[in-house]
Amino acid sequence: MTVTADISFAQFAAAPKGTVIVLAGDKLKMGPRTAALGVEDVVRRAAKTADFEAARVKTLDILAPESATFDRLVVVGIGKIDDLREHDWVRLGGASMGALARGATATILLELPDGSGPDAKAAADFAFGLSLRSYAFDKYKPSKNGQGKASKPPPKVTIQVKDVAATRRMWMARSEVAAGVTLARDLVNEPANVLGPVEFAAEAAALKSLGVTVEVLTERQMEKLGMRALLGVNQGSTRPPRLVVMRWNGGRGRDRPLAFVGKGVVFDTGGVSIKPAGGMEDMKGDMAGAAAVTGLMRALAGRKAKVNVVGVIGLVENMVDGNSQRPGDIVAAMSGRTIEIINTDAEGRLVLADALHYTETRFKPKLIVDLATLTGAIIVALGHHHAGLYATDDELAEAMRAAGEATGEKIWRMPLGPEYDKMIDSKFADVKNTGGRWGGSITAAQFLKRFVNNTPWAHLDIAGTAMDSPQTDTNRSWASGFGVRLLDRLVADKYEG
């Protein structure tokens, strides 16, 4: 099962039980409600022993505090109040959840050292961080542990806030975004023997219950459309490919949609250009771009976003077989461009080539953003803390950068240019699918650019941030769900009416 916390809100009340979590500012300043608990002296003595200075997201754990009516006190540092940014409240929520074990019941006194707020927005962001950090993918662990004890339920947390009604209203939308992140993480964490293209398509189709219109194109339908680049990747697999189109129509009927396109390689052996055995198990996550698009559609539909959006995901499996695509093969994409296959492990861009062209020509969107775990080269360039951004439109690129800063899903703009584009010219076809070792993430983006015409377009290479992801204040899972929060924020800030 997927574990997420049970979160509720309440007015400030006296005599909390169980675990109590409080905030402390610079120099251990605490609010009057915290002071009323009668633990200030205990906190100061414990802080001195532990060398705790209430730096942001640092925690101090005090068991059985003297003269208290509760069993445990956790102090979460917020640092200097004037320096608090929006995403810091999400991080503080994550740090608070990180102090809780499965089965815990906790009360959080959410007040600033001066006794004010935080306001409903910050309180909802705090709850958002709690929810994100509470995620655990335990589906394939036995229900009993080695001692025969039953698995404990997720933490149950009550957040005491200044304005319960306003916080609940703010939390409603954020809880839907959290559900979208959870869906994306679940999809990436699933093993490939369980989640093939057909099964993934069924997960996407389940969004119909939220009002999303879903079409699932079969192999035969894609053949008729001429999607030979996408189909060539899958021809070594016994499992049939799928292309899924998800549409959320929350805006005005005449408004052109925003389009999001995801790479969905449910498992990538590398094909004939086979990958090394070490770490190949991670290639179950090579569909994280498609997972992010699906999670985004879940978030937008759940919160009833006032915008028209289309999500397109190409779902394939890249396997080694007598029918597998070979280096040296030439295929014709849906756009009519011919592609020389230099390396069968450069397969995600082939899937996206057809998905991008299909999306642009059918829906004529305002913009297209694609997401893909496309290259190891982006990890060499940026490590695991930024995704690579490529864009043909400066306004779109800046809006995405701002959304990344606001959500903590950081991106870094990378270059495009004719010098890199020449590296993928082919002697035998219109383009070849890899430009070699140098600038590998850039030439992959240049390849995709050839399959988008005049629509403003951005590409996110999320290979370093979506799977085997950094352990942060808001995520302890192998899969991060990267992209859902960033793109939801992009839509909310820039494009909703």
Catalytic residues: 275, 349
- Please enumerate in sequence order all residues whose Cβ is within 8 A of that of 354, keeping only pairs 6 or more positions apart, or say none: 222, 225, 227, 228, 229, 230, 314, 333, 334, 335, 451
Contact 247, 296 (CB under 8 A): no
Whether the CB-CB separation of 313 and 286 falls below 8 Å is answered with no
CA separation for the pair 231, 243 (Å, rounded): 10
Residues in the chain: 497
Q: What is the four-CA torsion angle of 450, 264, 197, 175, rounded to 10 degrees?
A: -130
Exposed e or buried b per residue across 433-462, where buried means at least 16 C-beta atoms within 10 angstroms of its C-beta? bbbeeebbbbbbbbbbbbbbeebbbbbbbb
User: Distance between CA 167 and CA 402 in Å, rounded?
Assistant: 25
Per the CB < 8 A criterion, the answer to whether 413 and 390 are in contact is yes
Is the CB of residue 112 less than 8 Å from the CB of residue 84?
A: no
Of residues 328, 42, 296, 52, the one with CA closest to residue 187: 296
Cα–Cα distance for residue pair 441/374, rounded to 1 Å: 8
- Please list, in sequence order, all residues whose beta carbon lies within 8 angstroms of the beta carbon of residue 208, skipping any fewer than 6 positions away: 214
DSSP string, 154-178: PPEEEEE-S-HHHHHHHHHHHHHHH
Please tell me whether residue 333 adopts helix, strand or coil conformation: coil
Q: Token pair for residue 190?
A: 């699933």
C-alpha distances (whole Å) from 308 to each of 120, 176, 247, 250, 467 are 28, 17, 8, 5, 29
305, two tokens = 């976003």
Residue carrying the six token digits 């890249």: 318
Q: Quick one: how far is CA 154 from the chain centroid?
A: 21
Q: Is the separation of the CB atoms in 260 and 296 below 8 Å?
A: yes
Q: Which of 2, 455, 484, 464 is nearest to 262 (CA)?
A: 484
Instruction: Please list the residues that pair with 260 across neighbouring strands.
Output: 311, 369
> Sign of dihedral through CA atoms 62, 63, 67, 70?
positive
